[in-house]
Copies of this chain bind each other. A is one copy, B any other.
Amino acid sequence: MKGDYRIGDLARATDMAVETVRYYERIGLLPEPPRTTGNYRLYGDGHLHRLRFIRRARALGFHLDVIRDLLGMVDRPDQPCASIDQLARAQMAEVDAKIADLTRLRAELAHVANQCHGGTVRECRIVEALSGGEGESLPAAASTGA
């Protein structure tokens, strides 16, 4: 149950880049480990678990400052867990909003892409659609005064 990993071991075990592990230490997400005589970082299982937690939360889209909050709660296990639940639900709402945005985007893109009937750029309706949607034409760069 002790561990004793060097940073490379830890990185492999969590599928992270070594630099990312040092970065998390620098910004205070991962506690500074003890060092060997040769000044190598030496991690234990606690670090490993904490890092896995961070990685999983990142994979679920949590921002690092939210993860910092989550870790702070995890470090006070006698507190009620309602606030953790709240963060999880806020995260879900954010993801829902993003999906909605992207779905709208997708429809617009499909519309735009369907305008193309394969002539020259001059006739391309995609360009028109991107130029404002109301069919205005876009003057060439030559006329923009560069």
Contact = CB atoms under 8 A, between A and B. Distances in A.
A11 interface: no
A71 interface: yes
Interface string A112-146: 11001011111110110011110011111111111
Contacts of A89: 113
Interface of A: 30-34, 44-47, 49-50, 52-53, 56-57, 60-61, 70-71, 73-82, 84-85, 88-89, 91-92, 95-96, 98-99, 102-103, 105-106, 108-110, 112-113, 116, 118-124, 126-127, 130-133, 136-146
Given A88-B126, A131-B53, A139-B45, A34 B145 contact: yes
